[in-house]
Structure formats: C-alpha cells, structure tokens
C-alpha cells in the first residue's frame, strides 16, 4: 500500500472531498483519511440549502464567499455528474424568507433593499402575493422576501460525488482510518500517524468539522470550533405542498427535495457531540413547521435524523495555514453553511496549497490565530 | 399442494394464529390464509399491554374474558417457548393507572374499590407513594391505582410464536394468499376462493380484524366492525426511567419493554385504513407523555409506527357462527384488546368448532346478529 | 367528500398515475383509488431501466410502443419537475448488452444489425473497446452491444411525480382505499364499491398490475396476467465502478443510479405474490453480478428488496376496453417494462377514453380477448 | 457537572459496562466514557453464543474462565431484569457442534471425551440421532457433539442491561465523550482528557475492545490487540427450522434467537476497522449456512450487519494493571468471546480494583506484558 502523498486530507466530509477534488484535478497526489465512512456526519445530515442571501444578512468576507460559491453550483452539477454519474439534485426554485409578524416584516423589508444590491431579482411579497406563490402557507404570515436564486442540493450526493470525482482523478480514499497524531520535524509537517500506520506527506489539511479543535490543540494552536447539534425530521406528502424553500427567522426551514420529501429543520443544541434525536426537539420542529404550513400536520411521516455542525466563536470558518507548523492547514467551522461554502472552500484551499492563490484578501478574515479576539 | 382442510382460517394475526394453535393441538387439519405476511397489521403494532383491569372498568362478559385470558399467559409463555424457541417477553411488573387531577383521582379511587373484588392486591397510591415507586413521574400527578398483576408481552413475538406453534402441530401457513370469496352450497360453507385457487373445507373462520366486515357482507351479514388508527412512537433511554406500565385515562400509555425501549401510544383516528403516521399525531403523543414523565423530553428517539385496530359499534368483539351459513365463523373486533384476549378467543373458538364448548354463556354476548341494536 | 367522477382509476402505480395525469390535463375529473400507498408495489421495486432496444429483440407493436415511450422521457422529465419539483433522475449514459461467451457474441452481433435500423448510434464493442469503456468488466467477456440511448430513471420518483402532477391538475388521490367490486347496469359501468363506500363514474380503468386478473374475473373476462417475483439488492461503492447500465442476457443487470447506488437485479420467481427476499435469490444475484464485475465482491452492501411484476401469457400487456361492459378498461401486464411503457400507456389510454385516439392499430395487439390463443 | 470519580471506565461495551456494574454495586463512584453510543460496536453485533465448550477446545485459563462465566448467566439474568426491566433473553436449548465429514467426526468424537470431564451431559449424536433432534439439518452431515448447556443471550440487551443496572447503582454514563489522553503524574494515573474536558480519578480502565492498543501505546505499552471484522445476516422463518444453536468448525454458526430470527455468522476479515458488509462475505455465509440447513435457502431475509472483534496475538484477552502506570488497567481482546466472558471479566476486574481479588492465578495468563512472546 502506497504511503506517501503530496497532500493528506483528514476528514471525508464535504470540505475535505471538495479540496481533494480540486487538488487531484491539478495533478496532485492526494489521500483522504476518514475515521468512519465518507460524509457520515454533518455533510449527510444537512438540508442542503444554498441560502447565500437568505441566511447571511450583511456584506463581508463570508457573504462574498457565499455568493461566489453559489455561482459555482450549476457548472459543478454537470461536471460531477459527468465524472461520477451522481446527481447532486440542484434545485433553483427559489427561497422565501418569511416575516411572521408585522414587526419582523419591517426588518425583512430592509433586507430586501440590501440584498437587491447583489441580486436585483429579489423582491418583497406581501401576504396576497405570497399566498399566490405558496397557497399552503399560513394566512397569518405578513409577507416574505423572495430570493429566486437561492436553491438547494442533496448534500450526501454532493459529498459522495466530490469524493468519487476526486477518486476519478487519482485521489486515494481510506475509510475507517483514524488519525492519531500529526508528525512534525524542524518546523515542517512530515505526515500523520493513523490507526493503520504512518502516512507521509508535507501538506496536511484538517477538515474534520466540529472535531477539528482537538487535532489542532496537539499542534499548540487553539481554534474555537465547537459542536452544535441540529435535529431534523421529514415528511413525504402525496400531493405537492410547497415549491420553494421556506426559511423562517433561522428557527425553522422547510426544504422540498427532488424525491418528494420535505426536510424540516433544525434545532440548535450547543456544545454537544451527542447525536440522539429527542422528543423535545421533534415537538419544537413540528410546532414551528405547522405554524408556517398548517397542512403539514397531516403529511405522512418519513424519518428523523441529526447532525453535529461546527460553529466557531465569531461565526466564521477557519481556513488557512498554521502559524508555525509549515504544511499544516485547517478548513473547518462552516457551521450551517458547509454545503453552500464547500465548492469555494475547495477551490481556495487547493489554490493556497498549490501556491496559485494570487489574492489572499478573502481568506485573511478566516486565519487561524484570531481566537484571542473572540468572545463566545 | 394439499387443498382440503378441516378448518380454513382467514387472517394470520393474533386471533387467527391463536385459534389455529388450539385447533391443531386437538388434531384438526388447519390452514391459515394471510393476504400479506403473518401479524403484519394490528398484531405487530400493538403495545402488548395486558390491561385486563386497567382498561375495562365494569363487570360483564368482556371483563370476565379478559380476566380469564390474562390468567392464561404464564403457562402460555412457557408452552410457546417450548414449541418454538420464541419468547413472548411476558412482564409482570404491574401497571399504574394515573389520576392526573384531584377530580380524576376520586373516580379512580372508586375503581380501586371495584377492581379489588377481583384482585385484592390492587391498591391506591397517593402522590408520595407513587413518586416512591416511580420517581420519574411528574409531581403534579395526584395519585394512581396500582395493578400489580397487569403486565405486558411483545405482541409480534406472541403472534409469531402462536403461528409457529400451530405449524409445529401441523397447521399449514400460506402467506400472500388473499381470499376473494367464500363458497357456499345448500346452507353449508364449502371452502374459499383465493388468489392462488380454491381451497376446500367445511369450517371457515374470518379473523381479519378491521377488514372483517367486507368479507361477511358477501354472506349477507352486516357486522359493525370499523377501523381506528393508532399512532405510536418509542424512545430508548440509556438509564432506567420507569419500571411499571403507565396508563393515563386511555389517552396515553407508556410501556417499558424488555429490550429497553419505551413504547408511547396511541392516538385514535376513527374510520380510516390509512396507516400513515402524522406530525399532528406525534406532537400530541409527545405532549401527553412528557406531561406524565418530563424527562422523556430528552430520551433518545427510536421509531414511529401505526396500526389499524378493529373497533365495533358496542365495543365488544364478534365471536360466533353465522346465523344461516353453517360452518362460517367470525372472531374479530377486539379493538385495543386483541393481544390480551387472543388466548381465550383461540380457546373458545377452537372449542366451539370442535363442539367441545359446553357452556356458551360467555360467548352469547358476542354473537354476530346484534348489529341492529347498536348505535355508533 | 365528492363521490362522482368522470374517470375512476383503480391502482396507484406507474400505469394508473400516468393515465390520471394525461386525463386530468385534458380537464377530466379523475380519482385514483389505491388499496395501500401510491407506487408501493412493482412501481417502486423496479430498477427503472428504459431498455427499449436492449430488452425487446424483434419488431412489433411492443417494440414500437417502447421506442415511442422512450422518446417521451426527456420532455416528461422537465414537465414533471416543473409541476411537482420531483426529479425523475433520467440518465442517458447508455446501456451495454453483454455477450459473455463467443457463442452469445454471434447472436448479439446480429442484434446490432437489427437494432441499428432504429438507432444507427448502436454499435458492437469487441473486448478491447468494451474494457476501455468499462474497465471494471471481467476480461472474460467477449464483447457487447452498446446502446447509447437506452438509459434509466428513478422509478419511485417517476410514479410519485406522475401522481403529484395529476393532483396538480385536479386528480383526487385516495390511498388505503380498496375496490371490492365494480358496479354495472344495462351494459354500462356505473362506478365501484370500495372499503370506504360507493364511488360513481362511467369510466373505470383497472391498472392494478399483477392483481388485475381477479377484478376482471368478476366481469366475466379472464385475462392471463400472473405474478413474477423479482428480488434485487444494491451496493454503494465509494469509488466509481461502472458508468453505463450493464445488461446480461436478461438474467442479470447492474444499474448505476444517480445517488451512487448500483441496483443489481433481478430473479424471476413465477406465480407467487410472496414478496420475501430469500438467501437463494441473493446468492444467485451475487454470483452473476460478480462474474460480470468482479470488484463488486468488495462493494459496500446497501439493501435488498423485491417486487411482483405482472407477466402475461404472451408477454404483451392488456390495454383496451372490456368487450361487453361499456366503460370498463384495463391497462396491466407490462411485466418488466412498466416504467418504460408508462408514458405511452398513459397517453394512449387517456386518448382512448377521451375518444381522441384516431389510430387504434397499435393498441389492437393488446386487446383483452386474446387469452384463448395464448399458451402459458 | 461532577468531574471526579473513583473509577473511570473508557468504553461502554459489554466489558466496560460489566465492570461498572460490579464496582458500583460495591459502592464505588464510577463513570463510563463512551465515544459514541453504548454498545454500538462488537457488543451489539455479536450473536450472543455462550459457547464455552463448543468453541474452546482445551483446558487452560481461558477455558476455566469461560466455564465460570457461563455459570453466572442464570442468576445474572434475573438480577439484571430485576434492576432494569431488560431481559437478556437467555436461552439454554443447547448447541450442536457439527462434524460435516467422517474425518471431522473422529476429531469431534475426541472432543466429546474431553468435554465430558467438565459436563457429563455432553454426548455424541450419530447421523440418525442428529436428524431426530434437528430434522432440518442436511443428511450429508456425519454427526455432532451435543452440548445441552451451551446457550445464548441477546448481546445488545445484555450490554444495555449491564449499563442500566450500573446506572441504577450510581454509575454516571457519558456517551459521545471521547478520551483523548490519560493524565499521569509521578507513577500514578490522575484522570483523563476528553472531548468534554478533564475528568479526575486514580483508577482508569481501558475497555475499548479492538481500539485498545492505541490508547495504551501512549502509556508506552504495546499490547497486541487487532481488529477482525465479522459479517452476519439473518432470516426470519415463519415456521420453526432449528431449535438448538448450530456451530460448524468455527466457520459458520446459526443461532435461533428468541424473537424468531436466526442469526447466521460470521466472516473473519483480519486487520481492518472497515465495517462495510460485502457481497463476497454474504455469499460465503449463504453457501455455508445452506450446506448445513438446506431449507434456509427459502427463508425470509431479514438484515445484514457487521462488527469489529478484538483479537490478540495469542488469542487470550489482556486483563490487568499497567506495569508502571499505577491505577491504569486494561480489559480488552476478548475476540469472539466478549459476551460469554463479560460477566467473569467484570467480577475479576472489579475485585482487582477493589483489592478484593485474593487469588490472582487465573488472571496471570492475561497480564499485559506478554506481547514480546507472541507471534502473530
């Protein structure tokens, strides 16, 4: 078994697989080390919303990255299907950001003005227009921002397609392989020790989401990544209920997937790696979802699940090189935006490692040593 | 393939299998015809409570049958295990009938007096005694009737064990075999037409639960059996939460099963064969269950399911022979008591068919022609 | 509840839903009656191959229908997505009809000549060309016919999308509603009796697949439709294994689906409605599949399932009106081609009912009274 | 949250939970740290055979431990049910060790003589006697050793019952809590660092099965524990097929469980933590199982699964204290006998930690420093 690579990527989720894909397309010799199965954590549990403009409410590096990443999806969808036969199920039917009360409506109204700078197709819908578009919504809702270009994908398919496309270009995938420690000599990373022996390589990327802090701590660097559990459930109506993604004040979203399921998410339980779904979580989701769309009360139940999302102290991911261990990189902490930001993160990190990244301005906001400024 | 039998039983649920077991033990040549898989409907969906005295609140034929049937379980458990290796998971840790308010407490108190006639071990527990027995119960509960002899079994195992034990004594089991019509000549049943051809036999038992009315209608007899959907969910706590079965005012029960799951049931949706589980149903179960035992809010979610229970106009099962078609029998309509009443029903019907039933008093309340008196 | 319709469709599988869609688009008032859930039988169990030219080896009405139906898929895919948001996952990566030995190669070679009349893009690939296209195939294979235009869809999604699109145009969908008998007066159908009461309508379509013969028998017509169980399993490789659909001599096919699963099917067990999957069936599928693609031996196991396909005496579906009961129609018996033939069947039957079918030549081969000529 | 304990147990499988139960019954303050969910690895995947005499073929410490442990089950079963309501599903219907050929028969015959020293109820059954006991066995089998006292339990239930009973006596259970490193000062263990912070305690037990070597390596001790994957599948016949456990030459066993399933296991794939089930593994299990019991070919398929068992260089578990880190203990490497040996291991380790273990002879064979002598 080959044990020497140009780049070792720790973590087989959306971020790691996206980086591997970009690097192997450049001809780099890459290995992905995944302690369980590919995409077995947050990357599969996500709802897959590409909520660039519905979720991020102010300009800045994260917002700019989100816009850039969202723009990559149409091409990516064809490209990955070509290489792997996997369909990422890109849907561009738009998103509604619901204003449940008149009070929220005035806030959302301002958002419309702001977001239209970036996408003039965004509009405000009053109650009447809203019910014309989505007749199943509760008539008690005041209105909504309509974002026709915020869509969604099938997150597990996206992750798997990235990994298979990486494999197509030569990436080696090793599942059930846990990294125990990182090898380091004279200021330079030399490889990793795994549950299956040593692997050599002078570039190592830690892309282990909510589990990233532990491995970095061994290198003497504290990054403030912490877990936030999100519980979800889904129904599968036999008749069409909603067409667009419904997004309400970050506390509840409804995503109509291409197989006919509607995903309903998600709770936020901070500082736990515990993945159990609880009656409390499910009851709160049902309450919120049926306030938005009352007829979901009668929709056929499908399943429940949860995921552990990597939040950070200041809400921005960590992307960059270790300040003193040359060759050690982190790409983690994308919280609820891992699917949306996966493509651009893969591109930026690959360019960074290949020394092709001319403009590092965008990444400067995500550097690894900013923890001292953060307040959790 | 043999196509002539002494007795043809239509329906492979708990009732049909129990009858088949008793008849084949007597040496009769029996076939069970099941349109899908054995025990695939209410018999598997049940919680398996043997709530003889918690559920039935007044004396009468149903109550007497329930007491008799409950008394059969200990012996039955050993017997079925001996013949089949299947454990029906009989638990005799008792049941609590909860009085949530002072008002209900006074009603339940009277029940204690009544039920003690039949089982002097039954007692009233005030709030303090109750919390000593089950510390996880909500302190807002007023008290409870404690029925130390009402237990529970694993219903799917009970049904499968009955069927396998029947097979052990020679019963032929035919799954995926639907009965289309019943053959009849000169006042005497002659067999049935099935999706796999004709089967001959001069005794036919209709034991198809909520689906019984349709087949009987063809014989000119209207029996008032109708479907009532019950939705359930379960959790699997990692620490013990409750020991006894908790039974509250028929609207909610919690059954701690022998594999560590707690079953939480059940809604009641009348007049539907639709088996989908709905968010409305699940939300109402969570609300009720966590009012009784608040820490269930955090218990790990396991699964949801539903079943279609056969209710009747007057709440009593139909057990007996057709008034004019000789050889045609019904045993259906046990509603929420099919598991509890399965053993005695099997015994009574087998004795009836074998002309060994000396005292028919008990069965007279369940005869098939009482529909004209009922008001739904 | 409304109980009078223009057209009553019995059966909520691919055939019934496709007919309902076409009729409701024409403005007819339609109801679908399904005894369980929509698409719960063969329509969900199918692999979804659109094997117009790989499976049908000679010209004739079935072949012509297959070509016409296949041509409908691209437009249909967009149309259904538009109305329902469901993606039928149409893949057009081609199909390989494998010639495992030199002997079979000479037969397949002749097929190439024949099929090229209808699609000049079809070619013969010798061993070397074949392994270039699909390097995972066993080197012992002699060659293959490559059909670049035979693809596949996700069958459950296709069925659900048809039903939802029908609902969008006003079709009423009633699940868990079983038809007991058909009402008929003076040579004219008048409606049906169901488990939920009478429904009126002067056009009734029986689209119940392998279960169609029973209902027709009551109208005095014997149609020779019988059940053939097909067992399947699937794997989900983490690296791409095959791109095209692999089809070998009708005994085994491998279909790489858009979610990364590879479906492997299917056994053929005649004259049974029993849907259990058996070790014998699974062992035979593994053996055949790994002879074709040896590395499937190590692919991660996903799941097993089965379906009951409606075969007929002469291998052709029954589509047409009852000879004496006016208003009673059948569309059943599509065997392994229900997904492929669903679109054209829907169109033809809708036109037939609406009296818009100008040319009935194509349907004449499928008329309902041809049973006397068939030998099973 | 309390963070100081008498004993910290790493690993929530059968071994860790059994130790916790014994220690907390003695009044020690115990915490179980489990990186995922309790019993989520080999402890749930096991078939649960208590094959003390069928599997171990010569006298010695392992054999003596196995006999002692098996003898604990009847009492344990009542005890755990009393404290937790969970039934470990102990079955004592005996085991058959099959001799497939005449050649193997002569070897098994000698085993009968040897094993009868420990249990005079053990007998040799020739072909005729064997088929009388188990008529479904293949008539090509030469004979079998019958061990009437080797039974089985439900392994997941046993593990959960141990953990819940430990919790009943005060053990704290922390799931989703990974131990990163062990704290050590001046020759004495001081606690552990976890993904949720530091936990203090002067006795730490490593009970992490196949994952034990890694954690011990950090303490400077190499123990030769390595993973062996075992794949299994199950069927659920509707009629009784076998009553006893069938055990053939270690390559295949059939265990009829108390819920009616028959477990069929297990492959042995060394040196992998990869838990995927493969077509190769399933095909080999089907082949072996149907050679023993041909009618399993037609039994209804239920499910597949796998587990990672902890094998050691010399086939014996590691149980004992670290040679230089005072307070650090290991109990791991029980391979296919973890369920059988769980009770005695729990008792011995608890006594060892509590300094109540008077006779250490038995444990001396399992000490931690024997790796230098082993050849893998």
Judged by a CB distance cut-off of 8 A, whether residue C291 touches chain D is no
What confidence category does residue A159 fall into, taking pLDDT thresholds of 50, 70 and 90? very high
Q: Rounded to an integer, what distance in angstroms lies between the CA atom of residue A256 and that of residue C164?
A: 13
In the prediction, which pLDDT does B134 show?
A: 96
User: Which long-range CB contacts under 8 A does B182-189 form with residues at least 24 apart?
Assistant: B182/B215, B182/B218, B182/B219, B182/B325, B182/B328, B184/B219, B184/B325, B184/B328, B187/B324, B187/B325, B187/B326, B188/B325, B188/B326, B188/B327, B189/B325, B189/B326, B189/B327, B189/B328
Contact C299 D290 (CB under 8 A): no
The CATH label, of 3.40.1350.10, 3.20.20.140, 3.50.50.60, 3.40.50.720, for the domain at D7-81+155-223+314-373 is 3.50.50.60
Please name which of B150, B154, B137 lies closest in space to residue B259, comparing C-alpha atoms: B154
pLDDT above 90 coverage of chain B, percent? 83
Q: Which residue has the tokens 């020679």?
A: B170
Nearest beta carbon to residue C301 from set D277, D286, D297: D277
Residue A189 has pLDDT above 50, yes or no: yes
Report d(CA A181, CA D60) in Å as an integer: 39
* A94-121 exposure pattern, b = at least 16 Cβ within 10 A, e = fewer: bbbbbbbeeebbeebeebbeebeeeeee
Q: Is it the case that residue A249 has pLDDT exceeding 80? A: no
Nearest chain C residue (CA) to A157: C259
Angle, nearest 10°, between helix axes D61-84 and D338-353?
90
> Which residue in B174, B254, B259, B298 has the most chain D C-beta atoms within 10 A of its own C-beta, making it the best mutation to test that interface?
B259
Report CB contact under 8 Å: A176, D274: yes
Among all residues of chain B, which has the CA nearest to that of C193?
B214
Of B264, B303, C12, C42, nearest in space to A301 by CA: B303
Q: Please report residues of A whose CB lies closer than 8 A to that of C93.
A: 85
Mean pLDDT of B14-23: 98
- Contact: C274, B180; criterion CB under 8 Å: no
Tokens 């479907």 appear where?
Answer: B227
In whole numbers, what is the pLDDT of chain B averaged over residues?
93
* Cis peptide preceding C266, ω within 30 of 0: yes
pLDDT at C374: 44
D87, two tokens: 């039934």
**Cβ-Cβ contacts under 8 Å, C276 against chain B:** 37, 175
Please, which residues 162-201 of chain C have a Cβ atom closer than 8 Å to chain D?
none
pLDDT at position C371 is: 66
Would you list the DSSP string of C176-230?
S--EEEEEEETTEEEEEEETTEEEE-SEEEE--GGGHHHHHHTTT----EEEEEE
Average pLDDT across chain A, whole number: 93
pLDDT tens track for D32-46: 999 999 988 899 999
What CATH fold (topology level) applies to the domain D91-150+226-312? D-Amino Acid Oxidase; Chain A, domain 2 (3.30.9)
- Looking at domain C91-151+226-312, its CATH class is alpha beta
**CATH of the structural domain B7-79+155-224+314-373, one choice from 3.40.50.2300, 3.30.2010.10, 2.10.69.10, 3.50.50.60:** 3.50.50.60
Annotated domain spans of chain A: 7-79+155-223+314-373, 91-151+226-312
Q: Do A275 and D180 touch (CB under 8 A)?
A: no
Rounded mean pLDDT, C163-171: 95
Which residues fall within 8 angstroms of residue C374, CB to CB, at 6 or more apart?
A: C224, C312, C313, C314
What residues in D contact A195, CB-CB < 8 Å? 211, 214, 273
Neighbour subunits, A (≥3 Cβ pairs < 8 A): B, C, D
Q: Of A87, A173, A238, which has the smallest distance from its Cβ to C239's Cβ?
A: A173
Give the separation between CA B116 and CA B145, rounded to whole angstroms.
10
Residue A324 three-state SS: coil
Residue D375 has a pLDDT of: 42
d(CA C170, CA C155): 23
Answer whether A39 touches C (CB < 8 Å): no
Q: Is B82 on the interface with C (CB under 8 A)?
A: no
Residues of C in contact with B37 (CB under 8 A): 276
What ipTM was estimated for this complex? 0.91
Residue C299: its H or E element: none
Place of tokens 């599968």: A236
Q: What is the pLDDT of residue B2?
A: 79
> Cβ separation of D286 and C279 shorter than 8 Å?
yes
Contact residues, chain D, for A212 at CB < 8 Å: none
Position C195 confidence tier, pLDDT thresholds 50, 70, 90: confident
Q: Do D283 and C283 touch (CB under 8 A)?
A: yes
Nearest-CA neighbor of D227 among D334, D93, D363? D334
How far lies D69's CA from each of A79, D66, D225, D348, in Å?
A: 59, 5, 22, 11
Going by their DSSP bridges, the two strands D203-206 and D328-332 should be labelled as: parallel
pLDDT bracket for residue B375 (50, 70, 90): very low
Cα–Cα distance between D328 and D312 in angstroms, integer? Answer: 19
Which residues of C fall within a CB distance of 8 Å from D279? 233, 235, 286, 289-290, 296-299, 301
pLDDT band at B28 (very low <50, low <70, confident <90, very high): very high
Closest CA to A85 of B7, C261, D251, C281: C261
Q: Which of D32, D328, D321, D2 is nearest to D169 (CA)?
A: D32
Q: What is the pLDDT of residues A95-124, one digit of tens each?
A: 999 999 999 999 999 999 999 999 999 999
d(CA B261, CA B256): 6
- Note the pLDDT of residue B371: 66
List A19's β-bridge partners, or say none: none
Judged against a pLDDT cut of 90, whether residue C250 lies above it is answered with no
pLDDT at B218 over 90: no
Compute CA distances A279 → B20, B280, B299, D176, D301, whole Å: 41, 14, 7, 19, 32
What is the C-alpha to C-alpha distance for residues C333 and C207, in angstroms, rounded to an integer?
9
Local structure of residue C6 (DSSP, 8 states) = S
Structure tokens at B176: 């995926």
Over residues B193-217, mean pLDDT = 93
- B166 confidence band (pLDDT: 50, 70, 90): very high
Stretch 204-233 of chain C: residues touching chain D, C-beta under 8 Å: 233
Q: Is B335 on the interface with D (CB under 8 A)?
A: no
Structure-token pair, residue B9: 């039983």
User: What is the CATH T-level fold of the domain A7-79+155-223+314-373, as seen in this structure?
Assistant: FAD/NAD(P)-binding domain (3.50.50)
Please provide residue C251's backbone torsions phi and psi, each rounded to the nearest 5 degrees.
-90, -15
Look at residue B56 and give its three-state secondary structure: coil
> Rounded to 5 degrees, what are φ and ψ at A30?
-120, 145
> In chain D, which stretches have pLDDT less than 70?
1, 250, 371-376
Who among B235, B276, B279 is closest to A279 (CB)?
B235
Reported confidence tier of residue A375, pLDDT bands at 50, 70, 90 = very low
Confidence of residue C75 (pLDDT cuts 50, 70, 90): very high
Query: What pLDDT, on the 0 to 100 scale, is given for residue B250?
Result: 60
Tens of pLDDT, residues A313-346? 999 999 999 999 999 999 999 999 999 999 999 9
Q: Taking the C-alpha atoms of D71, D74, D77 and D79 in order, what is their torsion angle to the nearest 10 degrees?
A: -90
Q: Is some CB atom of chain C closer than 8 A to the CB atom of A298?
A: no
Instruction: For A232, list phi and psi in degrees, rounded to 5.
Output: -140, 160
- Asked whether the beta carbons of B45 and B156 are under 8 A apart, the reply is no
Put simply, whether D286 touches C (Cβ < 8 Å) is: yes
Give me the residue label for tokens 């090793």. Answer: A174
User: For residue A371, what pLDDT band results from cuts at 50, 70 and 90?
Assistant: low
SS3 D188: strand
pLDDT, residue D376, reads: 40
Nearest-angstrom CA–CA distance, C206 and C215: 8
Q: C207: Cβ–Cβ under 8 A, 6 or more apart, which residues? A: C9, C10, C11, C13, C15, C16, C19, C330, C331, C332
For residue A285, give how far its alpha carbon lies from the nearest alpha carbon of chain B (Å): 9
The partner residue sitting opposite C173, judged by closest CB among A84, A164, A239, is A239
Among C276, C280, C282, beta carbon nearest to D282: C282
Using CA atoms, how far apart are residues C265 and C46, in angstroms rounded to an integer?
9
| pLDDT score, position B185 | 93
More confident residue, B35 or A360: B35
Q: Which residues contact A196 (CB under 8 A, 6 or more apart)?
A: A174, A177, D273
**B240/D contact by beta carbon, under 8 A:** yes
Q: Report the CATH number of the B92-150+226-312 domain.
A: 3.30.9.10
pLDDT at position A250, please? 59
What residue in A sits closest to D180 (Cα-Cα)? A214
**Contacts of residue C195 in chain B, CB cutoff 8 Å?**
211, 214, 273
User: Contact, D193 vs D179, CB < 8 A?
Assistant: yes
Chain B residues whose CB is inside 8 A of the D156 CB are 259
Chain C neighbours among B 87-146 (CB < 8 Å)? none
- Integer Cα distance of C274 and D298 in angstroms: 11
**Min Cα separation A371/chain C (Å):** 36
Residue A24 sits at the chain C interface (C-beta within 8 Å): no
Closest alpha carbon within chain A to D174: A274
Residue B194 has pLDDT above 80, yes or no: yes
pLDDT at B373 over 60: no
On the question of pLDDT at B251 being above 90, the answer is no
- pLDDT of the residue at C239: 84
DSSP secondary-structure letter at B302? E
pTM for the structure as a whole? 0.86
Whether the Cβ atoms of residue C297 and residue C262 lie closer than 8 Å to each other? no
């Amino acid at each position: 078994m080959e044990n020497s690579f140009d780049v070792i990527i720790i973590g087989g989720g959306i971020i790691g697989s996206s980086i591997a894909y970009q690097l192997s397309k450049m001809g780099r010799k890459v290995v992905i080390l995944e302690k369980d199965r590919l995409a077995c954590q947050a990357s599969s549990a996500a709802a897959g919303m590409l909520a660039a403009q519905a979720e991020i409410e102010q300009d800045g590096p994260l917002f700019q990255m989100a816009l850039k990443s969202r723009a990559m999806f149409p091409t990516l969808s064809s490209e990955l299907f070509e290489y792997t036969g996997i369909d990422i199920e890109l849907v561009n039917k738009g998103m509604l950001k619901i204003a449940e009360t008149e009070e929220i409506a005035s806030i959302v109204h301002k958002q419309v003005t702001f977001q239209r700078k970036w996408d003039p197709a965004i509009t405000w819908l009053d109650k009447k227009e809203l019910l014309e578009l989505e007749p199943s919504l509760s008539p008690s809702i005041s209105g909504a921002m309509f974002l026709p270009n915020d869509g969604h994908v099938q997150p597990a398919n996206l992750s798997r397609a990235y990994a298979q496309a990486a494999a197509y270009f030569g990436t080696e995938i090793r599942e059930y392989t846990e990294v125990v420690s990182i090898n380091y000599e004279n200021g330079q990373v030399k490889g990793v020790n795994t549950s299956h022996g040593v692997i050599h390589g002078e570039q190592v990327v830690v892309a282990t989401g909510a589990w990233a802090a532990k491995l970095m701590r061994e290198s003497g660097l504290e990054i403030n990544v912490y877990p936030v559990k999100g519980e979800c459930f889904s129904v599968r109506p036999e008749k069409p209920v909603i067409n667009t993604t419904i997004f309400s004040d970050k506390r509840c979203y409804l995503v109509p997937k291409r197989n006919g399921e509607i995903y309903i998410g998600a709770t936020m339980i901070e500082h736990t790696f515990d993945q159990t779904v609880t009656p409390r979580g499910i009851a709160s989701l049902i309450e919120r979802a049926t306030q938005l769309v009352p007829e979901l009360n009668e929709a056929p139940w499908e399943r429940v699940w949860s995921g552990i999302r990597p939040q950070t102290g200041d809400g921005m991911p960590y992307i960059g090189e270790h300040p003193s261990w040359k060759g050690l990189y982190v790409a983690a902490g994308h919280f609820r935006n891992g699917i949306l930001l996966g493509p651009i993160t893969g591109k930026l990190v690959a360019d960074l490692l290949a020394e092709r990244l001319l403009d590092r301005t965008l990444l400067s906001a995500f550097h690894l040593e900013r923890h001292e400024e953060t307040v959790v």
